[in-house]
Amino acid sequence: MNSRIGYIAFNTFREAVRDRVLYNLVAFALLLSGAAILVGEISIDVERLVVVNLGLTAVSLFGVVIAIFIGIGLVSKEIDKRTLYTVLSRPVRRWEFVVGKFFGLTGTLVVNTFFMAVGVFLALLYVAHKFEKMDGWVLVALYFIVLQFLIVCALALFFSSFSTPLMSAVFTFALFVIGSLAEDLRGFAKITQGVAGGLATAIAYLVPNFSALNVISQVAHGDAIPGRLILYNSIYALLYSAMAISGAVLIFQRRNLK
């Protein structure tokens, strides 16, 4: 990696940590430990299912909220506060700045997810008293969640490269919700004819397919995740993020920093 991108990424990560973003882990830990204790008391035979479902859903939601709310401010905050002026007056290209910011935020989310994953596994251990082979699939679900974060970060950066932080948050969150229903949208597109069908198909394939990246339910039931899906999802998330980041770079390259 270009060293300047690395420096910008590290600074972004350090800023997030010092701005107490990782404090969300405290809320997460409280939520999960409370749930685990409660589930241990009231559930019979489904403790694992409930903890995996609840834990992974919380990991996903906490991460998405962080990705959106930090992501939308990554560029606009630097313009508003004019911190960008002293960065771009150095031998730093605009694309390096955008990519560095992206890596910094995804790095923050990976670290955040790591700690939450540890929490999920501890809760699992608490309710089941031991790990089973199928718990390994939880790691795959966590990997898919990180892929979701990549896309959400890239979209937040893309929207914030030309829009206000509030509108960027609305657009990104809307796409996350629509994308979570992408499989249903694709099903709807298949049974619709004419212009509406064409439009539905276009939207269904244009919005990020977050539903394909959501395997929480299967993993909670102990179902295996096919290797092919892991490969396809990885390629899909990387390509989609790369496209969104390229869009952000193209817009940001031409932007006047008033």
The answer to whether 4 contacts another protein (rule: CB under 8 A) is: yes
Minimum distance from residue 80 beta carbon to another protein (Å): 9
User: Which listed range, 42-50, 90-98, 126-134, 204-212, lies at the site for another protein (CB under 8 A)?
Assistant: 90-98
Interface residue with another protein among 22, 25, 49, 88 (CB under 8 A) is 88
Interface residue with another protein among 129, 130, 133, 258 (CB under 8 A) is 258
255 — alpha (psi -120 to 50), left (phi > 0) or beta? beta
CB atoms within 10 A of CB 30: 10
Closest CA to 213 of 189, 241, 244, 250: 241
The answer to whether 81 contacts another protein (rule: CB under 8 A) is: yes
The answer to whether 23 contacts another protein (rule: CB under 8 A) is: no
Cα distances (Å, whole numbers) of residue 194 to 27, 188, 190: 49, 13, 11
Minimum distance from residue 16 beta carbon to another protein (Å): 9
The answer to whether 82 contacts another protein (rule: CB under 8 A) is: yes
The answer to whether 53 contacts another protein (rule: CB under 8 A) is: no
Interface residue with another protein among 7, 115, 126, 188 (CB under 8 A) is 7
The answer to whether 254 contacts another protein (rule: CB under 8 A) is: yes
The residue type of 252 is F
Pick 111 or 238: Cβ nearer another protein: 111
How many alpha carbons lie under 13 Å from residue 87 in its C-beta half-sphere? 22
How many chain residues are in contact with another protein, going by CB under 8 A? 26
The answer to whether 133 contacts another protein (rule: CB under 8 A) is: no
The radius of gyration computed from the CA coordinates of the chain, to the nearest angstrom, equals 20
Strands (E), 55-149: none
Distance separating alpha carbons of residues 25 and 94, to the nearest angstrom:
33
The answer to whether 170 contacts another protein (rule: CB under 8 A) is: no
The answer to whether 1 contacts another protein (rule: CB under 8 A) is: no
How many alpha carbons lie under 13 Å from residue 2 in its C-beta half-sphere? 14
Interface residue with another protein among 41, 42, 44, 91 (CB under 8 A) is 91
User: Are 191 and 204 within 8 A, CB to CB?
Assistant: no
Residues 6+ apart with CB under 8 A from 162: 251, 255
Residues composing the chain: 258
The answer to whether 164 contacts another protein (rule: CB under 8 A) is: no
Residues forming the site for another protein (CB under 8 A): 3-4, 7-8, 11, 14-15, 18-19, 81-93, 254, 256-258
